[in-house]
Structure formats: structure tokens, C-alpha cells
Amino acid sequence: MRRLLVLAMVVGLSDGFLLAATPEEAMLPELVMGTLAGYAGAVTGASVLVAVLTAGAEGWGVLGAAILGTVLGYTGGAALGASFGVMTAGSLLGVEGNIGLCFLGGAGGAGLMIGLRVATEFQPLFWLLPPAAAAGATAGFNVGARVR
């Protein structure tokens, strides 16, 4: 994970690209990398937020804080991770996309999946949140995207 982050930072700071692709060709790699980064962000976000919220809590407060931290951390981490994964894949492929809409799309995809989960009460939908966030982030990133 550390190597991937260092690689993404080096490529991002050098403003270079490794492979040239059109925005249409880059969508599948962006979606895949966004999904993987979304799951990594979800696990990291849930872990960090649970640790922060349960620090100093006692009794039943620990359980409530753990549940709240898991749901909020998983959702936020998935949206942020998916957005960063999509932007990294796009950058590696030489695509210059819409960063603001990428984050908005990631949050929208995560929110849509939470809404479906609440409306249907079907628990497995919660675990499909990172791919939905990655799909939204990919769609947002590619609005007006062009090759560098």
C-alpha cells in the first residue's frame, strides 16, 4: 500500500504520465483502481474513526461509538478512497479530468448505496458501497476529460 501511495505521489508531482489513453479507454482501469482504493479507504476510515470515537468511552457508549464510527468511517473512506483511486488511474494514463465532480460523484455513489440500503434493508448493499462510489467518481472525473 505504501509503494502505491509513493508511486501515485511521484507521478502526480511530476505531472507526467506513464501510458497515453483516451478518456474512454481509461474508464475501466479508473473504475477498477477506484474500487480497490475505495475498499482500502473504507477499511482505513472505519478503523480510524472507531479508534477515535471509542477513546475514553465506557460501557454501552463504546458499542454506540463503534457502530457510528464503522458506518461513517466506512462510507466516507470509501468515497474518498474511490475518488483518489480514480484520479490516480487517470493521471497514470494521461487523462486530465474534473476533480471536483470526481469527489462529488464518489460521494453521490456512496450516498446512493446508503439510500438503497436503508430503503430495502438489504444488508449486503452496504458492502457494495466502494464499487458504487468508484462508479460515481469515474463518471464525475470523465465529464469534460481530455488527454494531456
pLDDT tens profile 20-37: 678 788 899 999 999 999
Q: Residue 12 falls within a domain, yes or no?
A: no
Sign of the dihedral through C-alpha 91, 39, 111, 51: negative
Domain membership of residue 84 (yes or no) is: yes
Q: Which of 101, 141, 104, 133 has the alpha carbon at shortest distance from 116? A: 133
Matching residue, cell 507526467: 16
Average the pLDDT over 123-141 and give the result: 93
In a domain, 13, yes or no: no
In this structure, is residue 2 part of a structural domain? no
97 pLDDT more than 70: yes
* C-alpha 113, offset from chain centre: 13
Domain count, the chain: 1
For residue 11, tell me if it sits in a domain.
no
Dihedral sign, Cα of residue 121, residue 124, residue 127, residue 133? negative
> Residue 42's closest CA among 85, 76, 16?
76
Residue at 55 is within a domain = yes
Q: Is the residue at 78 inside a domain?
A: yes
Structural domain containing residue 36: 25-143
8 Å CB contact between 47 and 11: no
Task: Note whether residue 118 is domain-resident.
Answer: yes
Whether the predicted pLDDT of 12 surpasses 70: no
Q: What is the pLDDT of residues 37-79, one digit of tens each?
A: 999 999 999 999 999 999 988 889 899 999 999 999 999 999 9
In this predicted structure, the answer to whether residue 145 has a pLDDT above a threshold of 70 is yes
The confidence score (pLDDT) of residue 23 equals: 76
C-alpha to C-alpha distances, 53 to 7, 61, 129, 142, 147, nearest whole angstrom: 32, 9, 22, 36, 43
- The pLDDT of residue 16 is 47
Cβ atoms of 95 and 145 within 8 Å: the answer is yes
Predicted local distance difference test score (pLDDT) of residue 121: 86
Residue that the C-alpha cell 473504507 belongs to: 42
